[in-house]
């Protein structure tokens, strides 16, 4: 090993290979059969269950947990997947602590919810391990639908449409499917190449063709798609990133957090991924936390996450903040970036402290930094889109846009949180609406 935690600059191989394996292993190890039974036994099979109401995809949680408890995890998986075809990924990445598990009555009773996410993973993993795809297609309708974007929204939409008997073509600008499941989600939430495996499993339904390297503005136009297909679904996420707009932002070593994460997710060998010694992440959401934590796990010596508002305003959940803290990330709040300092490459970054109303206090602080990650939000990219308001494609009902024959869902569309599960729900619901429109 040539470098270690103290090596200055942006270098790879700060940690021995075995430490990297350990650091990037499953955040929540899967439940074994016994653990799953014990966890399932805790569910009260609530009437009109609050957990189910809190799930953006309305999974019948009490039913699937009871199916696990009675020794039929495959049936449980089917209950999950009927509502949420990416139930496997959602089991790994959903912030359950702010969704189903937050409202679980056993959280109310004992401060310890039923482990819904882990149980969901147990069921879906069991089914997927058997190689079974439990859904079949309805008789062919002869209708063709184009889906733009192979992220959670697009995949969910495509699967539901295919199951109805429509022929679907998915176009994605990237060389791989999965969207942020493949390029964005933290590595320790989706180990063993799960995102790719899940896409392969999903496509087993048939009737879906995926064309990579083709995107709106990159060889495709919405006009043409509208002409060639009976309907179009846009699930293009938020491909652009917000800029800091401070002096020195263009210096070497200042990167978009999403690019760093994508590089890390695509790396075959983590010991080849370079990371700074002193890393500063700017932002307060899930992306910021993921970048900071993974920088630390790669062996960065000092990682600071700096957010311009108070802790309570951070988009990252309490669980995510705690994860960052336990991994050794220093969280600094109420500090706004002022300037990136350095000679060619970043050396320091200056912040000014702010009060809760984001008013400058005049007090500043400089942090040593050989690498800065910007995680202050993504933005919609592309021209000729349907009407957009506040940075998102305006939708009404189940994803209907301002253009006839064009639906949208997921991060690119208005309404709902920017979460995998929300994207799945919106893709599915749009598919049902498209199906209704095409059947009319």
Ligand X SMILES: Cc1cc2nc3c(=O)[nH]c(=O)nc-3n(C[C@H](O)[C@H](O)[C@H](O)COP(=O)(O)OP(=O)(O)OC[C@H]3O[C@@H](n4cnc5c(N)ncnc54)[C@H](O)[C@@H]3O)c2cc1C
Interface residues with another protein (CB under 8 A) are 37-38, 41-42, 44-50, 105-106, 108-109
- Helix then strand then coil, in percent of the chain rounded to 5, is 40, 20, 40
SS3 330: strand
Smallest separation (angstroms) from another protein to the CB of 47: 3
Please give the residues from 146 up to 185 whose contact with ligand X meets the rule CB under 6 A: 148-154, 171-174, 179-180, 184-185
C-alpha closest to that of 172 among 188, 156, 155:
155
Smallest separation (angstroms) from ligand SF4 to the CB of 46: 3
Smallest separation (angstroms) from ligand SF4 to the CB of 67: 13
Smaller CB separation from ligand SF4, 68 or 258: 68
Beta strands at 302-306 and 406-408: parallel, antiparallel or unpaired: unpaired
The partner in contact with residue 51, picked from another protein, ligand SF4, ligand X, none with C-beta cut-offs of 5 to 8 angstroms by kind, is ligand SF4
Measure the CA–CA gap between 192 and 184, rounded to whole angstroms: 15
Smaller CB separation from ligand SF4, 116 or 127: 116
| Count of positions on this chain that bind ligand SF4 (CB under 6 A) | 15
The partner in contact with residue 116, picked from ligand X, ligand SF4, another protein, none with C-beta cut-offs of 5 to 8 angstroms by kind, is ligand SF4
Residues 63-92: x/- map of binding to ligand SF4 (CB under 6 A)?
A: --x---------------------------
Measure the CA–CA gap between 271 and 20, rounded to whole angstroms: 7
Candidate list 9, 30, 35, 50; residue touching ligand SF4; CB under 6 A: 50
Please give the residues from 110 up to 129 whose contact with ligand SF4 meets the rule CB under 6 A: 114, 116
Please tell me whether residue 56 binds ligand X under the rule CB under 6 A: no
- DSSP annotation of 327 reads T
Smallest separation (angstroms) from ligand SF4 to the CB of 58: 12
DSSP calls for 119-166? HHHHHHHHHHHTT-----PPSP---EEEEE--SHHHHHHHHHHHHTT-
- DSSP annotation of 416 reads S
262 close to 291: Cβ distance less than 8 angstroms: no
SS3 38: helix
Measure the CA–CA gap between 399 and 427, rounded to whole angstroms: 8
User: How many CA within 13 A on the CB side of residue 346?
Assistant: 29
Interaction site with ligand SF4 (CB under 6 A)? 43-46, 49-51, 61-62, 65, 104-106, 114, 116
Interaction site with ligand X (CB under 6 A)? 93-94, 148-154, 171-174, 179-180, 184-185, 189, 215-217, 235-237, 239, 258, 261, 286-287, 290, 382, 410-412, 418-421, 423
């Amino acid at each position: 090993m040539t470098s270690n935690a103290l090596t200055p600059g942006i270098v790879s191989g700060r940690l021995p290979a075995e430490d990297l394996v350990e650091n990037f292993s499953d955040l929540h190890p899967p439940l074994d059969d016994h653990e799953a039974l014990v966890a399932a036994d805790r569910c009260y099979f609530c009437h009109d269950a609050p957990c189910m109401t809190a799930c953006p995809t309305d999974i019948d949680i009490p039913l699937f947990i009871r199916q696990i408890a009675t020794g039929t995890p495959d049936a449980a998986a089917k209950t999950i997947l009927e509502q949420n075809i990416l139930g496997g990924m959602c089991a790994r990445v959903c912030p359950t602590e702010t969704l189903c598990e937050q409202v679980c009555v056993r959280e109310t009773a004992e401060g310890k919810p039923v482990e819904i996410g882990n149980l969901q993973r147990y069921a879906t993993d069991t089914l997927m391990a058997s190689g079974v795809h439990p859904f079949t297609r309805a008789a062919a309708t002869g209708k063709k639908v184009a889906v733009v974007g192979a992220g959670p929204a697009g995949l969910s939409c495509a699967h539901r449409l295919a199951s109805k008997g429509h022929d679907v073509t998915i176009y994605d600008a990237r060389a791989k499917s999965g969207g942020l499941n493949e390029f964005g989600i933290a590595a320790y939430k989706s180990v063993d190449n799960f995102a790719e495996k899940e896409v392969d499993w999903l496509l087993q339904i048939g009737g879906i063709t995926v064309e990579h390297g083709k995107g709106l503005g990159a060889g495709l136009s919405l006009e043409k798609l509208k002409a060639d297909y009976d309907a179009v679904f846009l699930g293009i996420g938020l491909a652009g990133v917000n800029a800091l707009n401070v002096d020195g932002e263009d210096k070497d070593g200042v990167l978009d957090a999403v690019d760093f994460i994508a590089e890390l997710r695509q790396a075959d060998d983590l010991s080849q991924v370079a990371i700074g010694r002193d890393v500063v992440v700017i932002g307060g959401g899930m992306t910021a936390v993921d970048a900071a934590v993974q920088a630390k796990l790669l062996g960065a010596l000092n990682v600071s996450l700096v957010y311009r508002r108070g802790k309570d305003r951070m988009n990252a959940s309490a669980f995510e903040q705690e994860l960052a803290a336990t991994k050794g990330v220093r969280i600094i709040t109420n500090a706004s970036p002022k300037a990136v300092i350095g000679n060619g490459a970043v050396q320091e970054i200056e912040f000014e402290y702010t009060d809760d109303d984001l008013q400058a206090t005049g007090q500043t602080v400089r942090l040593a930094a050989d690498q800065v990650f910007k995680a202050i939000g993504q933005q919609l990219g592309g021209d000729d889109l349907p009407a957009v308001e506040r940075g998102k494609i305006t939708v009404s009902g189940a994803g209907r846009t301002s253009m006839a024959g064009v639906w949208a869902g997921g991060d690119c569309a208005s309404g709902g949180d920017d979460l995998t599960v929300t994207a799945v729900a919106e893709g599915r619901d749009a598919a049902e609406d498209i199906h209704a429109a095409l059947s009319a």
